[in-house]
Each structure stands twice: as C-alpha cells, then as structure tokens.
C-alpha cells in the first residue's frame, strides 16, 4: 500500500477512496480466491475478532473454497454474538419530504419524475405521523428527505427535529432521531449536532467515481468529492456517530465492499473512530425505476456473504438492514451480523397516518417486509432475539470513540443487555399484542437469570416499576 495516490489519512475523496487501490485489491482478491494457505492465514487473523484490512476482507468475500466459506459464516456468527449478543435494535424511517432537485437515475424522487406526488409535511402533519409511530411503539427514527434547498432547507429539518423530540403522547416518546439528508456544510452539520441528532446517515450509493457521475447526472449530488467527503465534514461539525452505506446493485459488489471498508479505515485514521453503522441496502423496484436496467444486482447468497464478511472486517460497527429485504433474507442476515432493522416501515411521505389517502404514490421504493412492528417483534422473540428499543448510549453520552472503546472491551453488554430488556418491557406493557406479550415476558424472565446479581437486582426493580405503571425510561 502507499502506492499511487492512496492515503487513508488524506481528506481528499480520490486519495482515501483511491480507484487504483480498489483495482489492485480486486486483483488480489480474485487471485486469492482458491488459495487455501492464504485463506487459512487470513482466517487465523480474523478469528481474533479485531477486524481485517480491506484487502484481506475482500479476499474472504471472493473465496471459493467451501470449507473456508463455512468457517467464514461460523466466525461471523460468533463475532455477532460476542459483540452484540442476541439483541436487535428496532427503528423506523420517517419521510418528511420527497421534493428533490437531483437527477439520481435509480431513485423515483429524481427531478424529472413528474408523475410521483410531491409532498412535504407541515409540522402538524409531522406531529400526526410521530404519534402514529409512537402508538406502534417506536422510540428511534431515521429522518429521510430529498435534497431541495428551497423546499427542504436545513431550518425545516431542524424545526422538524424539535417538533419530534417535543411530542409526548401517552407513554410514547421518540428518544433518538437519526438523520439521512444529503451531503451538507460543516456549519449545517454543527446545527444538526446541536439539535441532538443521533447518527448522521449518508449512503455513498456507489464508490466508483465514473459510475457515480453517470448515475447522478444533475443536481448538487453530482459532485462526487462533495458527497464522498461528507462524513469528514459531519465529524468536523461535532457529529460523533456517522452511518455509511452503499446501494448494492449500482456497481460491482466487490468494488462497493472494498469502498465501504476503505471509507471506514479512513474515518478511523483521521478521527480515531470508524463509522457507527454500515447499511447494506439493495436496489428495489420503484416508480419509474426498473431494477432490470441495472446489471449489477446481487443474489441473496452474495448478499449474505457480504454481511458475514463485513461482520468479520469491522466487528465494532453496527449493521443495518431495512424492509427492502424480505423476512426470509432478514432472518438469514440477522445471525450473520446485522444488529439493527426497521419494522412496520412506510417509505411514503405521511404513510404512517395515511395522510395521502388511498391514491398516494409518494413512496420511495417497494418494501419486501410488510409486517407490522408487533409482528416483527413477535418474530424476533420467536427466533430467540431480544427486540430492543434502546437509545441509552447516545443519551448517556456514550457516542463516538467512547462507545467504540466499550464495544472493543466487550463491556457494552453490561449496558445494552439490561437496557434492551427495559425497553422491551416498555414495549410489551404499552403496545404489544397478547401473543407478543406472552412470548416477550418468557424471554425477559429467562434472560434475567443470566445477568450478574448486581445488575439483576437493579433491573428487576425497574421492570416492576414499568409493569406497575410507576415509571418509564430507566437506563443503565
């Protein structure tokens, strides 16, 4: 490494996501695919659970030796359990506005799409949507907006965040608002940070500059460097937790996989902390979009292997899968490394409260998991997972490098496990169906037994207070 212009410490997009380094890594991985000795050596290194470089991780992704592939899946499952236990964090997207000035050819919000209905919610409509989300049981949202300086200025986003945090309906509250808006300035990131956002999420879409420029022919998003360097500006603006992602299907999956890891290595090199989360969205059919027009869509098997190899490469980074994936695919990738999923999602503006009525066509893409949040919670419980609505780390200041340190030491369990059970109990008490309540209580009772006595004592007290209606929002 260190050849060409590649430099993970640089803040220039073409140096930390260096095309030549990606090409070399692709060659390395393709040449290594059947090399048993090399793959065994990489697996020995990986089994320490401290992560892998983009080169070694790419080699594992391309490995075609069945015995090693089995070991890859086994190791991914072990790392998942070691760092995340059986907890799965739940969230919902909230689409505030689909006005957009960009020309992204894969997204129905593109500016040339004249038949999709354009909508921007008023603060009153946001209140109705958030109450609908609170009534489902959600505590954590991801705000989604198109890019439009006139219709969706930063002031609108900030006002909406204030509205959302301010809504207290019955026992409901949104305790963490993550934000997925277009790349912006350091000053705007600072304002988002001051507004108390959780994670700033921005998908790179594709790390391949040439593809990127073709797929984003117009609008501010056309500027590859501005988009790729966004996380540097977000972190300079004080945002500790950033979430990266690539939209699989836009370019070759190996290129995107290497790009994601190089991006993570770059953030770690410059800011001392990698991304808080990695999302792995796959392209979906949408209004005006045919996935068959895209040659690089990936199979379920490759998708699962990407998740497993990411889990091994960046053990401390949360991984997110949305309702773009079917229940079957979600089940498979949960055990291989995914730590957060959305549930009961709507991708239309005003979709939770059905503000657009039956004729609404403002949705961003078709979802593949249409179950209600309660069905998703019950399904997770059935599979032995703890559905978690926890937002404690961010509210207790355990963000950025502080969070990563706890995660690396595996101490995070001492917080996350009881907090997951507390928030699950809140969900069961306030929102669950009879069936979910029964399975959930059984799971809580059996999980409590495995806790150390000091934590157990405090937890039992909190659970009793929630059950008797005396209190909410306890945390470790």
Report the interface residues with ligand SAM, using CB under 6 A: 106-107, 144-147, 180-182, 202-203, 205, 221, 247, 281, 283-284, 286, 289, 324, 364-365
Residue 365 Cβ vs ligand SAM, minimum distance, rounded to whole Å: 4
DSSP annotation string for 230-292: HHHHHHHTT---EEEEB-BTSS-HHHHHHHHHHHHHHHHHHHS---SEEE--B---BTTB-GG
Nearer CB in complex with ligand SAM: 134/184 = 184
Nearer CB in complex with ligand SAM: 212/474 = 212
Q: Can you tell me the distance from the alpha carbon of 81 to that of 261, in angstroms, rounded to the nearest whole number? A: 21
Residue 158 Cβ vs ligand SAM, minimum distance, rounded to whole Å: 16
Residue 284 Cβ vs ligand SAM, minimum distance, rounded to whole Å: 4
Residue 80 Cβ vs ligand SAM, minimum distance, rounded to whole Å: 24
Q: CA separation (Å) from 146 to 4, 149, 476?
A: 36, 10, 37
Q: CA separation (Å) from 231 to 96, 264, 268, 294?
A: 22, 10, 12, 27
Q: Which residues contact 147 (CB under 8 A, 6 or more apart)?
A: 100, 101, 102, 181, 182, 219, 220, 221
Pairing label, strands 277-279, 242-245: parallel
Residue 230 Cβ vs ligand SAM, minimum distance, rounded to whole Å: 9
Nearer CB in complex with ligand SAM: 4/156 = 156
Largest CA distance in the chain: 65
Nearer CB in complex with ligand SAM: 180/348 = 180
Nearer CB in complex with ligand SAM: 323/339 = 323
Nearer CB in complex with ligand SAM: 142/304 = 142
Nearer CB in complex with ligand SAM: 269/302 = 302
Residue 123 Cβ vs ligand SAM, minimum distance, rounded to whole Å: 20
Contact (Cβ atoms closer than 8 angstroms) between residue 297 and residue 291: yes
Residue 184 Cβ vs ligand SAM, minimum distance, rounded to whole Å: 10
Nearer CB in complex with ligand SAM: 87/221 = 221
Residue 286 Cβ vs ligand SAM, minimum distance, rounded to whole Å: 4
Nearer CB in complex with ligand SAM: 80/221 = 221
Q: How far is Cα of residue 379 from the mean position of the Cα atoms in its chain?
A: 20
**DSSP summary character for residue 426:** H
Residue 224 Cβ vs ligand SAM, minimum distance, rounded to whole Å: 13
Q: Can you tell me the distance from the alpha carbon of 240 to that of 142, in angstroms, rounded to the nearest whole number? A: 16
Pairing label, strands 87-97, 200-201: unpaired
Long-range contacts of 411-416 (CB under 8 A, 24+ apart): 412/83, 413/85, 414/455, 414/476, 415/476, 416/84, 416/85, 416/87, 416/388, 416/390
Q: Around 410, how many Cα atoms within 13 Å sit in the side-chain half-sphere?
A: 8
């Amino acid at each position: 490494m260190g050849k060409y212009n590649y430099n993970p410490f640089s803040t220039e997009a073409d140096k930390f996501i260096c095309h030549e380094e990606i090409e070399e890594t692709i060659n390395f991985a393709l040449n290594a695919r059947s090399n048993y000795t090399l793959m065994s050596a990489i697996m020995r290194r990986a089994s320490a659970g401290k992560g892998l470089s983009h080169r070694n991780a790419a080699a594992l992704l391309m490995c075609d030796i069945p015995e090693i592939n089995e070991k890859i899946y086994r190791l991914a499952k072990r790392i998942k359990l070691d760092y995340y236990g059986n907890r799965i964090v739940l969230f919902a997207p909230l689409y505030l506005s689909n006005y957009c000035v960009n020309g992204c050819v894969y997204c129905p919000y593109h500016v040339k799409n004249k038949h999709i209905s354009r909508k921007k919610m008023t603060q009153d409509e946001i209140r109705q949507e958030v109450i609908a989300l609170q009534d489902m049981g959600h505590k954590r949202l991801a705000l989604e907006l198109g890019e439009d300086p006139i219709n969706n200025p930063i002031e609108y986003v900030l006002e909406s965040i204030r509205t959302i945090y301010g809504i207290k309906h019955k026992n409901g509250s949104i305790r963490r608002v993550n934000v997925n808006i277009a790349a912006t300035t350091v000053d705007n990131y600072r304002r988002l940070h001051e507004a108390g956002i959780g994670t700033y999420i921005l998908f790179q879409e594709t790390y391949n500059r040439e593809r990127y420029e073709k797929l984003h022919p117009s609008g501010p998003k056309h500027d590859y460097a501005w988009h790729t360097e966004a996380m540097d500006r977000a972190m300079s603006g004080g945002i500790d937790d950033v979430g990266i992602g690539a939209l699989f299907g836009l370019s070759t999956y190996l290129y995107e996989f290497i790009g994601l890891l190089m991006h993570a290595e770059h953030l770690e090199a410059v800011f001392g902390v990698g991304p808080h989360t990695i999302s792995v969205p796959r392209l979906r059919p949408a209004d005006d979009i045919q996935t068959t027009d895209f040659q690089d869509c990936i199979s379920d098997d490759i998708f699962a292997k990407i998740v497993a190899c990411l889990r091994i490469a960046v053990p401390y980074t949360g991984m997110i899968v949305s309702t773009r994936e079917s229940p079957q695919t979600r089940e498979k990738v949960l055990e291989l490394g995914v730590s957060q999923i959305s549930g009961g999602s709507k991708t239309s503006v005003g979709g939770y409260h059905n503000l657009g009525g039956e004729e609404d066509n403002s949705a961003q893409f078709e979802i593949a998991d249409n179950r209600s949040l309660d069905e998703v919670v019950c399904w997770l419980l059935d599979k032995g997972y703890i559905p978690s609505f926890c937002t404690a780390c961010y509210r207790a200041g355990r963000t950025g490098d502080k969070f990563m340190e706890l995660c690396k030491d595996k101490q995070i369990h001492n917080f996350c496990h009881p907090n997951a059970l507390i928030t699950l109990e809140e969900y069961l008490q306030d929102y669950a169906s009879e069936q979910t309540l029964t399975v959930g209580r059984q799971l809580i009772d059996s999980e409590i037994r495995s806790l150390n006595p000091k934590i157990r004592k405090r937890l039992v007290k909190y659970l009793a207070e929630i059950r008797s209606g005396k209190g909410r929002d306890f945390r470790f």
